[in-house]
Structure 1
């Protein structure tokens, strides 16, 4: 495909090189100037761009090397958003049954949400200058400012009517997207954990218990995306990536896409869906029957959580299974998530990461031809 999403694509984040991690630690401790850190980030981004190009990817990201979290670093730049730490503990699970404790930050809205100026723009400018291929920017979906805290995290004094909050939030997103579009961005990805969490029966039950209707939230989150992108240029590709949790090779949610698929795939007016399908937690491919003919489904059949490269025949067999529900020509291939949704990274090495990505490109070319 000449336009994204590409037959072999990547969700966004890469493992942080050791010298970048060390530099960020020194900066946080007050032992390095911001300018020096920025120069190291620039060097590391140039290197990860070359590595992506060398492995054969066409959609190129900066690896999220300037971020600590895939979502917080963006959302906290919106006026009115306050980040708090230690309010609750999440229990991420690994495939071996062990758990990884983590107290993720939570976002609160204590004043009117506004776009305070470019967030990803300068980073995109640098990425664009570093590659001759298609630069992609990944930002958190607007739902990431709502689901975790719900009504309680959004001041009733500021927003007695949540519709006013949604209007301000999507207006801020439109301003950011307009700035990125003016700089030349034509490949945008929203990262969303909440729609995938709403596939989990236990999380759906807890959502109902707090007074929210999971189906109504699914429709709301689709509307927030649609409202955010309504002024995008015609030639800008927009995708959404759904994730069930990706922290130190551990996960949070499980459950197939059936509870959200019909609403998600038909009401969200975008160009592509990056869907996790790396293990049994994601269920079967039957929900893909709802996919519109206008959208590409990027099958996240390979795992960014494990070091071992997937056998090619196993991946091809699963692509064939998916093709029973959606035309093969409408599909593409990726890992289920990035390799480092937070700066902590998953449990594999940089070498493992590039071997797996090379395998991804090989499989895509064998299935669909030269990408």
Structure 2
């Protein structure tokens, strides 16, 4: 076994990183009117430059900008799609952790015009990242098309605009296809579609919630997979695309549970991506048996290292779990990463930047021992 030269890499990570205190302070100053946009951007630039260097020092082959310019992993993108409007409605997602429960509250969305892509989203952010990497592969993370629907369901779609929901799905796929083509034109060779919906739907409680909203919860994942495939159908051959699935990541808390069994056959056998980043850091994710549906040629990045706590995993335990997974998918198709981002929202998880990079170095060290 050798290191991979194309994404996803043997040692990889999902994307978001803890925001430096200096960046958080600058954002607070901008919100209070003490900094203008240019001054905030200058701080962002300096922080991105530093975190790219830190990813290289950790031994990673790819680098993201840590999503430092975003408030959340998905809504900063979704609100830039044409036809999507932010609303005053407050949507709540219930999260859980060892200490109890907490709620994530965010503005809702409304689709009141046809879905379009007015401009390439995150173009400036990716171009800056691209200019900072030195020998690393720059990786762009965006929410999958599924998240545009899953956030509010069909109730968020103005039926006078889309009396036929098939047209909505076609427009959504077309907008994403334009984004994919545009970032490839920028030189992006590593694109990740982040998707909580395809993991949440493994949870019977989530399927019940979707059914209560009037959705076909038993087949919703199949619609999402078809839409993603349509968005990726014409991607250039030089662009590698992965997807990341998790069950919620907010301030070291989670929102859903359940093994991948419910979506596994349709997802692994039918989604046209090059690799799957899968959450596997605790018992909520179930066993490795669903990996038997992964076909040859697809990579599985095992998210065995948790981002939800600072406790450092044991290398031998990680190697044992990789060996267990290799009973269902060949070792050469496996890689290793943390189970999610370290800061899916600006608040971040409950660990320090030093503990974060210790986790990333652990991923690299373990991958070297397993794959060479």
If the TM-score is normalised by the length of the shorter chain, which range does it land in? Answer: over 0.9
Tell me the residue number matched to 1:118.
120
> CA offsets per residue over residues 28-77 of structure 1, 9 Å max, x none?
22221101111110000000000000000011100000000000101111
> CA offsets per residue over residues 240-292 of structure 1, 9 Å max, x none?
00010000000000000000000001111110000000000000000000001
Aligned residue runs from structure 1 range 185-334, under 5 A: 185-334=188-337
1:145 aligns with 2:145: no
Tell me the residue number matched to 2:338.
335
Tell me the residue number matched to 1:105.
107
Q: Supply the RMSD in Å over aligned alpha carbons.
A: 1.0
SS of the aligned residue for 1:88 comes to strand
Stretches of structure 1 lacking an aligned partner (at least 5 in a row): none
> CA offsets per residue over residues 211-234 of structure 1, 9 Å max, x none?
322342111111111111112111
How far the C-alpha of 1:97 sits from its partner, in A, is 4.3
1:12 aligns with 2:15: yes
Alignment equivalent of 2:172, drawn from 161, 169, 173:
169
1:158 aligns with 2:161: yes
How far the C-alpha of 1:101 sits from its partner, in A, is 2.2
Tell me the residue number matched to 1:33.
36
How far the C-alpha of 1:92 sits from its partner, in A, is 0.6
Aligned residue runs from structure 1 range 351-370, under 5 A: 351-369=354-372
How far the C-alpha of 1:296 sits from its partner, in A, is 0.1
Give yes or no for contact 1:215–1:260 (8 Å, CA) kept in 2.
no
Aligned length: 368
Give yes or no for contact 2:83–2:115 (8 Å, CA) kept in 1.
yes
Mapped partners of 2:123, 2:295: distance in 1: 31
Give yes or no for contact 1:177–1:229 (8 Å, CA) kept in 2.
yes
SS of the aligned residue for 2:91 comes to coil
How far the C-alpha of 1:174 sits from its partner, in A, is 1.3
SS of the aligned residue for 2:150 comes to coil
Mapped partners of 1:85, 1:253: distance in 2: 26
**Further displaced range: 337-346 or 74-83:** 74-83
Give yes or no for contact 1:85–1:103 (8 Å, CA) kept in 2.
no
Mapped partners of 2:133, 2:118: distance in 1: 28
Alignment equivalent of 1:178, drawn from 176, 181, 186:
181
Give yes or no for contact 1:27–1:33 (8 Å, CA) kept in 2.
yes
**Further displaced range: 341-350 or 106-115:** 106-115
1:67 aligns with 2:101: no
Give yes or no for contact 1:85–1:104 (8 Å, CA) kept in 2.
no
Tell me: CA distance 1:79–1:366, structure 2 relative to 1, closer, same or farther (3 Å).
Answer: same
Give yes or no for contact 1:8–1:364 (8 Å, CA) kept in 2.
yes
Give yes or no for contact 2:232–2:272 (8 Å, CA) kept in 1.
no
Stretches of structure 2 lacking an aligned partner (at least 5 in a row): none
Give yes or no for contact 1:109–1:154 (8 Å, CA) kept in 2.
yes
User: What TM-score do you get using the length of structure 2 for normalisation?
Assistant: 0.97
How far the C-alpha of 1:85 sits from its partner, in A, is 5.0
How far the C-alpha of 1:118 sits from its partner, in A, is 1.6
